[in-house]
Amino acid sequence: MVISFLAACLVVLALSRLISRWLVFILGNRWYAWLLWPGVFIHEISHLLGAIITFTPVKGISLLPKAGRAGQVELGSVTHEATSNPFKLIIISFFPLIGGTVILWLITYWLTGIQAAAVPQFSLIDGSVNSWLSYFSQWFSFMAAAVKSLNLADWSGWLFLYLVLVLGAHLAPSNQDLTYTVAGVTIFALLAVILSVIDWLASQNFTIILLTLLAKALNMLVPFLSYIMAWLFMLAVIIGLVALVVRLNRQTFWQ
């Protein structure tokens, strides 16, 4: 169950990074910063909520783009008190993925007739070829049905596409967020090993019970991530083709 969750997370984060980079290439830093600002807002507010629910004091928050180092544009930031608590590190740094995913589900319910729950659940439990073929067949069927359900003759359909784009581009954590996440996961893993040794010496199984409960909680998020993965895959294909055309046009122009 945990493997399915981690695999879905990695795919979603990789697609989000790709979409973000290609949009920067197409639009440039400044246009990207302002046109996709709603995604920045949700990203930073999610960090803020992660700090609040973990009782981590917040020192400052920035929601508007501003000039950074080496001509880069700083999209936003949340500054909080330093902590070595692995749970706090993981929740604060990873919360934008959860916040963006939940909001995408909500706007799907409000703005479209697409049934988000219809997406097939991403699972690595059954590794057979038939299982993989069946999964991808159901997945592409869902994407085809979702595209047909979009009403682009109405403003709500275009608003939905815009929000999927801006939120999808900002689901992935920054490099600093990833550093905090890795640190938190590493500390958590070390604690789990220590507790397992203590359980073994005391002939108890408390650690296994706790890890099982955690695995079940993470597995509940897999359907949400599967839905986001379908939309990000479609966006990545479209935006990737646009980026390729832009690159070819620029090369042709300068030649």
- The answer to whether 140 touches 237, Cβ cutoff 8 Å, is no
Residue extents of the structural domains in the chain: 2-254
Please tell me the predicted confidence (pLDDT) of residue 79. Answer: 79
Query: Which residue has tokens 């994407």?
Result: 143
Range scoring the smallest mean pLDDT among 97-101, 150-154, 194-198: 194-198
C-alpha dihedral (50, 82, 55, 48), degrees to nearest 10: -30
Phi (first) and psi of residue 61, to 5 degrees: -145, 140
- Of 254 and 143, which is predicted with more confidence? 143
pLDDT category of residue 154 using cuts at 50, 70 and 90: confident
| pLDDT one-digit tens code per residue, 72-123 | 666 777 877 877 777 777 788 878 888 888 888 788 778 776 665 566 665 5
Reduced to 3 states (helix: H, G, I; strand: E, B; else coil), residue 60 is strand
What is the C-alpha separation between 58 and 31, in angstroms, rounded? 29
- Looking at every residue in the chain, the average pLDDT score rounds to 77
Extended strands (E) in the chain: 58-62, 66-67, 73-74, 77-80
CA nearest neighbour of 155 among 143, 163, 145:
163
Rounded Cα distance between 221 and 238, Å, is: 26
CA 214 remoteness from chain centre: 19
Give the pLDDT score at 33.
83
Q: Note the pLDDT tens digit of each residue in 41-51.
A: 888 888 888 88
Which of 144-148, 191-195, 240-244, 247-251 reaches the highest mean pLDDT?
240-244
Closest CA to 123 of 18, 211, 11, 233: 11
Higher pLDDT, 16 or 225: 16
DSSP structure class, residue 125: S
Backbone angles phi, psi at 91, to 5 degrees: -65, -50
- Check pLDDT > 80 for residue 71: no
Q: Is the pLDDT of residue 255 over 60?
A: no
pLDDT in the model for residue 213: 72
Whole-number pLDDT of residue 85: 76
